[in-house]
Amino acid sequence: MAGKNKLKKFADLSILDNVYQNFDYLNPEIKHVDNTAVDLKGKWKEKVYQNTHPLVVELACGRGEYTLGLAHQDQTKNYLGIDVKGARIWQGATTAKEQGYDHVAFFRTRIELLAQFFGQHEIDEIWITFPDPFLKDRKVNRRLTSPHFLEIYKQLVKPNGIIRLKTDNPKLYHYSLQSFTEDSGGRVVFHHHNIYEMPYIPEALQIKTYYEQKHLADNCSIKYIEYQLNGE
């Protein structure tokens, strides 16, 4: 039964008009409804959202809980959740449709291919929420805050744009803090090892996904880093 449900979700993705997909990682082509090819590089705001509002991207968005939480708080921005797992994106996309969130969309692709699909400085802000920490040293370049990925983000995020990390993992937190600090393309403007000890918690940090609630139940502290790219 689970397998059939998963197949149905994959089929649904091709008819949801708030979902975009890249099927062939060797071919940077985006497919939309009924697998129609669309060219969105440099045109996401115009073609997907029909406006010029800021574009906020959540990487490794999973079921899109954080994307949806941000969209609920602020409807003056465009939100795009990105993940490689189609069944996860299905949940976020269907919830967005149920909520009538026209300022929310989802994109199924591999994060290392972002530069193939976005124009220079097209993104205003990136959220990285509870990503796989890839704790083994041999997988360090797969961490979404590694210098490898920072170079990709710097091409796509506007000058003075923000990259935000929220994680429960101490190793990823300290690694990311060092990675951001050593990068000459911007500066760490804020970080905290336990946001729920802060006297004031910004509304955007109060969003709790399913996994964050599990981490809190396990007495894990939630860590946060805010990194701002240099201006032109």
Catalytically active residues, by annotation: 132
DSSP state letter for 23: -
Amino acid, res. 73: Q
CA distance 140 to 118: 24
End-to-end CA distance of the chain: 54
Work out the burial of residue 190: count CB atoms within 10 Å of its CB; fewer than 13 is exposed, 13-18 middle, 19 or more buried.
exposed
Question: Residue 14: helix, strand or coil by DSSP?
Answer: coil
C-alpha 137 chain-centroid distance = 23
